[in-house]
Chain A
Amino acid sequence: MKRLFFLIMVLALISVKSEAQSYFTRGGQISFFSKSPVEDIKAENHQVLAIIDPVRHKLAFNLLIKGFLFEKQLMQDHFNEDVMESDRFPKATFTGSMKEGVKEGLNHVHLTGQLTIRGITKPLNTMADLELKNQVLHGNCQFKISLADYKIKIPAVLKNNIAPDILVTVNVDCKLMQKK
């Protein structure tokens, strides 16, 4: 009898854990945009990995710096080799949590978390729109990051070509992840 009770409790505990549902994508999009008097610089990454867990209010993003595509190939080369040193720091990641829960329909949530670029981790607070519809969680969000925060150095000759604050746009469509 006691054993049965114990077993039921353990099972209940396990089932509570497995109820946590995550939404996942490998094809998220993150783009960044720099507007300066001289030129506009834009790059897009379509291979962003994202996982959002609305039950536990947690989320994480992961991407390869090399996955950013530029209009000019030479610019992309310089971005990887000199600016971001992507052989040394191949990834950028974000881990964070949402203040609010996610219900069916459109949700405005506050995100707080840690953004890591070039091995440097800084806190990030921003607002995001999360729309849950037909078991697809669509998220989008915009925020600015400062080059100085991540020790991204721009040579003097290019000071006017690149804005000190870069606008980052995130767009993901996450599908319900099947538990193993």
Chain B
Amino acid sequence: MITFKRIAIVMLVLAAGASSVFSQDSTSVDLLNQLNDSIGKQAAEMDDVNSIFKATQIVNLPTVEQPGRNNLQFIIMHRFGKLDGGLYQLFGLDNATIRFGLDYGLTDRLSIGIGRSSLDKTYDASFKYKLLQQREHKMPVAVSLNEWATVQTIKYDDKPYLNAKYRTAYTSQLLIARKFNRNLSLEVVPTWVHYNLVPTPEDQNDVFLLGLAGRMKLTKRLSLDLEYDLLPGDPMPSRDIKPSFGVGLDIETGGHVFQFVFSNSQGMIGPYYLTETNGTWGNGDIYFGFNISRAFGWKKTKAK
């Protein structure tokens, strides 16, 4: 009986000692483990894959990125003349075309944009709608719909009858992108260009293309971008169009993204780079240029 009592006391003392040691050293870790259990749920809800690309376009092809709600992006796109212009044209620097654009996020999924290109004095209006958001576990790709309407306003002395209806073209693109890992993102872009008027009866009013694009991060703030627009058949014989191919180098700082680009297209918006590219890389028909975008935000973080 006495031995039992002793054992009981020893056990109690040990138990008490153990529990006090336990509470001294590991309670805070214990508390953290409790929190870790509940943060799992939060993490599952916040598994959106962001920053699939850095900018809203690769070189000319749009990306699935867009300004968020109440964010405004101002973009200046610049293409100099052909590099083969030689010293006389200072390798193209004498002839520059430029586009200014404003894009605004109405919601986190819908953004609208307007722009003006000096090439053919073209005005454009566009919207981008995010259909699907890439998610860590549930959704393998991001999908956005991109729509452009373009109207060129350059004056033709010989064709004064061309009214706005005939000067308008539409570009519809489905942007399907996936960020494979921290460094590599790829995008496939089925594209449909519709012209209200084409130069000759042989030319088709509807042109279908397949854009392929990718970004490879070189360092945290530097990435290499490539894009190619696959053009099946010869839908526009009078124009002798070539597939557009572009290479870009993105450099990002705080609110800016600088893109240095080389492309065989002088136009910077659909349908220009898609169906009016006639240069080939092999002949030195390369336009050097840059895109600079600056973001402005007014979204106030919700107070309480």
By a beta-carbon cutoff of 8 Å, the part of chain A in contact with chain B is 2, 5-6, 9-10, 13, 17, 20, 22, 26, 29, 42-44, 46-47, 49-51, 53, 56, 58-64, 66-67, 69-75, 77-78, 80-82, 87-88, 90-91, 93, 95-97, 113, 155, 157-158, 161
- Asked if A74 and B38 make an inter-chain contact with CB atoms under 8 angstroms apart, the answer reads no
- Asked if A64 and B46 make an inter-chain contact with CB atoms under 8 angstroms apart, the answer reads yes
Alpha-carbon separation in the docked complex, A95 to B31 (Å): 8
Cβ-defined partner of A58 (8 Å) among B1, B31, B46:
B31
- Asked if A49 and B39 make an inter-chain contact with CB atoms under 8 angstroms apart, the answer reads yes
- What number of residue pairs across chains A and B have CB atoms under 8 A from each other? 128
What is the interface of chain B mostly: helix, strand, loop, or mixed?
A: mixed
Q: Which of B38, B50, B71 has the most CB of A within 10 A?
A: B50
Cβ-defined partner of B39 (8 Å) among A6, A64, A97:
A64
CB pairs A–B below 8 angstroms (7 shown): A9-B12, A13-B16, A53-B31, A72-B296, A74-B255, A82-B220, A96-B28
Alpha-carbon separation in the docked complex, A95 to B27 (Å): 9
* Chain B 231-264 near chain A by CB (<8 Å), digits 1 or 0: 0000000000000000000001111000000000
- In the complex, residue of chain A having the shortest beta-carbon distance to the beta carbon of B5: A2
- In the complex, residue of chain B having the shortest beta-carbon distance to the beta carbon of A44: B301
Interface residues of B in 36-54 (CB under 8 A from A): 36, 38-39, 42-43, 46, 50-51
Instruction: Given the known inter-chain contacts A62-B36, A73-B67, A78-B252, please indicate yes or no for A95 contacting B28, CB distance below 8 A.
Output: yes
Tell me, yes or no, whether B300 is within 8 Å of chain A by CB: yes
Alpha-carbon separation in the docked complex, A158 to B221 (Å): 12
Instruction: Given the known inter-chain contacts A78-B254, A81-B51, please indicate yes or no for A51 contacting B35, CB distance below 8 A.
Output: yes
Tell me, yes or no, whether B297 is within 8 Å of chain A by CB: yes
- Asked if A17 and B19 make an inter-chain contact with CB atoms under 8 angstroms apart, the answer reads yes
